[in-house]
């Protein structure tokens, strides 16, 4: 922290002050160049370096979760073998434990687990069978390698989440701007009430209600993202309409829950900014209302929302998990649920880990976006 403070002092000497009103193209160019030369690069490097200990801690947390349930990998394997009618002796069990390294201390087990995920050597059995250097262990529930199970739905989950997030921003930001510029109007109240209800009704309850309404009105409960036909032929232009139809319920469920948070935060910030001196000055100087709102207030008001991107992403994964289970969407949620019901902890842990890593990447992006958006951030060494 102190090193950082020194760095800040150094930087202030060639601080490109941008409050001087008019900015000529060359000036802007100079600013941008300056920005990329020093601050942003060092800032991003610092952020990426901080990414590593975070990943490490996430993996520790996930391993803790994997270790939690009573019994281990081998006891569930033995249970499976016994139900299949095979005779398992104590010696077999011990041999299995030794093979999987379960007789070793937890710390050794952790490093073996994470080591295999990072790099499985070429001469290992796993590599010979799967030609992959990343051994995420085996999923009993799906009788496949954990990574293969995750991979099935990873792309869908990421695209789905991105679409919902885009939807949230596109819907909530205009509403927030409207609400703040028309404070205490009918529209403002309507937006607040809907937003509040959206957060108050648990996602899965709303999903059930909408499923019921959809069943009542159309005779079809519209569960799942893909039709059986889509699963075979893939999504093309001709069946894209059907996919959109099936996206409606998830969009409403997850859209309303997240938008409310964004609306509230942007609205509150906007109201703060609108009341500031600089807004008054701009207005007194005859700057158009539109320009005041969009160029000054909004730019300042959007900051917390951008920095909250990680949190939004996290709550989106959270919400979509239960929603996906209720609506039977082809996302990671149902996989996680199945894995947990079967105590298939390596798969469950891996799914939690993948989601957490995605969130951390989201945080990384948001920090970079914030540094681009708000030049003050790069001096204070991260606003979060």
Calpha distance 367→382 (Å, rounded): 7
Residue 383 touches other proteins, criterion: CB under 8 A: no
Among 212, 218, 294, 380, interactor with other proteins by CB under 8 A? 212
Among 119, 215, 240, 278, interactor with other proteins by CB under 8 A? 215
Do the Cβ atoms of 188 and 182 come closer than 8 Å? yes
Least separation in angstroms between CB 240 and other proteins:
25
- Complex with other proteins: residue 221 or 279, whichever CB lies closer: 221
Helix H segments across 182-223? 186-200, 203-218
Residue 74, token pair as written in the block: 């081998």
CA atoms within 13 A on the CB side of 225: 20
Segment 104 to 163, residues that bind other proteins, using CB under 8 A:
none
Segment 227 to 286, residues that bind other proteins, using CB under 8 A:
none
Residue 310 touches other proteins, criterion: CB under 8 A: yes
Question: Which distant-in-sequence residues (6+ apart) come within 8 Å of 250 by Cβ?
Answer: 160, 164, 207, 225, 320, 323, 324, 327, 329
* CA-wise closest residue to 229 among 241, 247, 212: 241
Do the Cβ atoms of 58 and 357 come closer than 8 Å? yes
Among 178, 337, 365, 379, interactor with other proteins by CB under 8 A? 337
Among 75, 130, 279, 318, interactor with other proteins by CB under 8 A? 318
Residue 298 touches other proteins, criterion: CB under 8 A: no
Residue 79, token pair as written in the block: 């249970």
Handedness of CA 86, 92, 98, 102 (dihedral sign): positive
User: Helix 345-373 and helix 309-327: axis angle, to 10°?
Assistant: 140
Helix H segments across the chain? 2-13, 25-34, 41-67, 73-83, 90-99, 106-118, 125-130, 146-181, 186-200, 203-218, 228-233, 240-274, 277-284, 289-291, 298-301, 303-307, 309-327, 332-341, 345-373, 375-380
- Complex with other proteins: residue 35 or 142, whichever CB lies closer: 142
Least separation in angstroms between CB 192 and other proteins:
11
Among 175, 177, 211, 266, interactor with other proteins by CB under 8 A? 211
Among 76, 156, 181, 199, interactor with other proteins by CB under 8 A? 199
Among 250, 261, 308, 349, interactor with other proteins by CB under 8 A? 349
Calpha distance 120→131 (Å, rounded): 10
Residue 321 touches other proteins, criterion: CB under 8 A: yes
- Complex with other proteins: residue 175 or 352, whichever CB lies closer: 352
Contact stretch for other proteins (CB under 8 A) within 14-22, 33-41, 94-102, 349-357: 349-357
Residue 21 touches other proteins, criterion: CB under 8 A: no
Contact stretch for other proteins (CB under 8 A) within 107-115, 151-159, 173-181, 358-366: 358-366
Residue 216 touches other proteins, criterion: CB under 8 A: yes
User: Per DSSP, what are the bridge partners of residue 144?
Assistant: 139
| Residues contributing to the site for other proteins (CB under 8 A) | 53-54, 57-58, 61, 65, 68-70, 196-197, 199-205, 208-209, 211-212, 215-216, 221, 223, 310-311, 314-315, 317-319, 321-322, 325-326, 333, 336-337, 340-341, 343, 345, 348-349, 351-352, 355-356, 359-360, 363
């Amino acid at each position: 922290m102190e090193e950082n403070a020194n760095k800040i002092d150094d930087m202030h000497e060639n601080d490109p002050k941008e409050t001087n009103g008019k900015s000529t193209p060359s000036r802007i160019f100079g600013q941008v160049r300056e920005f990329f030369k020093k601050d942003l690069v060092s800032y991003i490097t610092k952020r990426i370096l901080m990414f590593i200990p975070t990943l490490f801690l996430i993996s520790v947390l996930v391993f803790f979760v994997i270790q939690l349930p009573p019994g281990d990998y081998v006891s569930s394997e033995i249970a499976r073998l016994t139900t299949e009618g095979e005779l398992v002796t104590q010696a077999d069990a011990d041999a299995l434990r030794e093979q999987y390294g379960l007789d070793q201390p937890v710390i050794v087990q952790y490093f073996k687990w994470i080591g295999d995920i990072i790099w499985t050597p070429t001469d290992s059995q796993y590599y010979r069978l799967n030609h992959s250097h990343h051994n995420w262990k085996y999923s009993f529930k799906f009788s496949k390698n954990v990574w293969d199970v995750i991979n099935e739905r990873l792309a869908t989950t990421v695209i789905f989440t991105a679409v919902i997030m885009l939807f949230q921003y596109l819907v909530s930001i205009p509403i927030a701007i409207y609400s703040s510029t028309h404070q205490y109007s009918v529209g403002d109240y309507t937006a607040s009430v809907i937003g509040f209800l959206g957060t108050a009704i648990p996602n899965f309850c709303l999903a059930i209600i909408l499923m019921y309404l959809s069943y009542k009105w159309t005779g079809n409960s519209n569960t799942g993202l893909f039709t059986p036909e889509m699963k075979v032929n893939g999504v093309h232009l001709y069946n894209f309409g059907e996919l959109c139809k099936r996206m409606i319920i998830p969009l409403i469920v997850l859209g309303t829950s997240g938008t409310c948070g964004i609306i509230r935060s942007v609205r509150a910030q906007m109201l703060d900014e609108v009341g500031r001196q600089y807004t008054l000055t701009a207005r007194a100087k005859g700057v158009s209302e539109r320009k005041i709102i969009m160029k000054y207030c909004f730019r300042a008001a959007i900051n917390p929302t951008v920095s909250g991107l990680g949190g939004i992403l996290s709550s989106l994964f959270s919400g979509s998990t239960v929603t996906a289970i209720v609506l039977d969407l082809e996302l990671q949620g149902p996989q996680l649920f199945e894995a947990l019901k079967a105590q298939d902890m390596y798969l469950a842990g891996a799914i939690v880990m993948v989601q957490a890593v995605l969130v951390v990447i989201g945080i990384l992006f948001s920090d970079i976006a914030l540094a681009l958006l708000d030049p003050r951030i790069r001096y204070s060494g991260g606003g979060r």
